[in-house]
């Protein structure tokens, strides 16, 4: 993960969970990904591991293992929104919310 990268984006609160704009985060982290033509599947590779998110589902595949997200992933205007902790876990990081300066930091576990 490149040091010092930042993303400015809209965080969504839905079903009591913070959702991050995954496309924007992946671009900032220089993580390769693709959104398939129907716009319901996002697949990428981080730290040598494959991950797959499906819009409108709580299932994510991380390095071949099926995992469940806290709430269903959703897509809006070609942007995937994923629960914060689920995204961090799949990418191999922990997420720390810093409300005092309205930031979220991804830290290496």
**Topology (CATH level 3) of domain 12-108:** Copper Amine Oxidase; Chain A, domain 1 (3.30.457)
State the Cα–Cα distance between residues 3 and 66, nearest whole angstrom.
29
pTM passes above 0.75: yes
State the Cα–Cα distance between residues 85 and 99, nearest whole angstrom.
16
Domain ranges of the chain: 12-108
pLDDT digits over 7-51, tens only?
A: 677 788 888 899 999 999 899 888 999 999 899 999 999 888 999
pLDDT digits over 51-109, tens only?
A: 999 999 999 999 999 999 999 999 998 899 999 999 999 988 888 888 887 788 877 77
28, 90 Cβ separation under 8 angstroms: no
């Amino acid at each position: 993960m490149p040091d010092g990268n930042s993303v400015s984006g809209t965080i969504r609160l839905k079903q009591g969970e913070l959702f991050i704009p995954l496309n924007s985060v992946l671009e900032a982290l220089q993580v390769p990904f693709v959104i398939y033509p129907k716009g319901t599947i996002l697949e990428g590779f981080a730290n040598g591991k494959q991950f797959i998110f499906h819009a409108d589902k709580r299932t994510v595949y991380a390095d071949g293992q099926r995992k469940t997200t806290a709430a269903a992933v959703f897509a809006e205007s070609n942007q995937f929104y994923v629960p914060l902790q689920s995204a961090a876990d799949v990418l191999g990081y922990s997420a720390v919310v810093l409300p005092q300066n309205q930031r979220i930091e991804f830290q290496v576990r």
